[in-house]
A and B are shown apart, each in its own frame.
Chain A
Amino acid sequence: DIQMTQSPSTLSASVGDRVTITCRASQNINAWLAWYQQKPGKAPKLLIYKASSLESGVPSRFSGSGSGTEFTLTISSLQPDDFATYYCLQFKRYRTFGQGTKVEIK
């Protein structure tokens, strides 16, 4: 099984901050990685697929990078609507989510 390790588990930041979340795969997954945003009581929302492709309608302040085993999600300038929990997902073999990163107001 492919394991996904996300860090940090919690991140405190202010509006306007640049935020980076990291996801590490237990084996090479090439670029088969996606990122999701989830708000309380709602289903996750796809932000990034194939490591760096921005989903239609997602603001350009979100970006993804990486390949192989190391991946990052970057929010270039944090907005009030971005306070949420973020998950990575590998889809190289079946599907495995990371444990999540909660972005909180500092």
Chain B
Amino acid sequence: EVQLVESGGGKVQPGGSLRLSCVASGLHFDNYEMNWVRQAPGKAPEWLSYISSSGYTTHYADSVKGRFTISRDNAESSLFLQMNSLRVEDTAVYYCARDRDTAPFDFWGQGTLVTVSS
């Protein structure tokens, strides 16, 4: 059974940092491109970042470019999101999501809540 389990969320003050993790099981993790997607309360999901299966190629949404960094450790079947300079508007549930060929976000984790507040 495929599982993606996020962790690392919590409450942080504006300007602070957090590192999210997503551990995969039940799949050959290094075969898949991966993404981070977030969803603020009552809003549509927002794609944040993509990483290729090898980790060599990354892309970011303009809203997080220069503040967030995506990475992966294929040996540990893990995906990461380093979030710096956090803002109140970064408050959301953060999901990791898998890509499958021409089917984006075909599998999601359960999400981890990040709250940015003073």
Known: A43-B108, A44-B108. A49 touches B103 (CB 8 A): yes
How many residues of chain B get a CB closer than 8 Å to chain A's CBs? Answer: 20
Known: A43-B95, A46-B103. A97 touches B108 (CB 8 A): no
Cβ of A75 to closest chain B Cβ, rounded Å:
19
For A91, list chain B residues within 8 Å (CB).
Answer: 104
Q: How far is the CA of A87 from the CA of B44 in the complex (A)?
A: 8
Known: A43-B95, A94-B59, A94-B61. A55 touches B106 (CB 8 A): yes
Q: Does B76 contact A (CB under 8 A)?
A: no
Known: A50-B102, A89-B104. A43 touches B109 (CB 8 A): yes
Q: What is the interface of chain A, defined by CB distance below 8 A to chain B?
A: 1, 32, 34, 36, 38, 43-46, 49-50, 53, 55, 87, 89, 91, 94-100
Q: What is the interface of chain B, defined by CB distance below 8 A to chain A?
A: 35, 44-47, 50, 59, 61-62, 95, 97, 102-106, 108-111
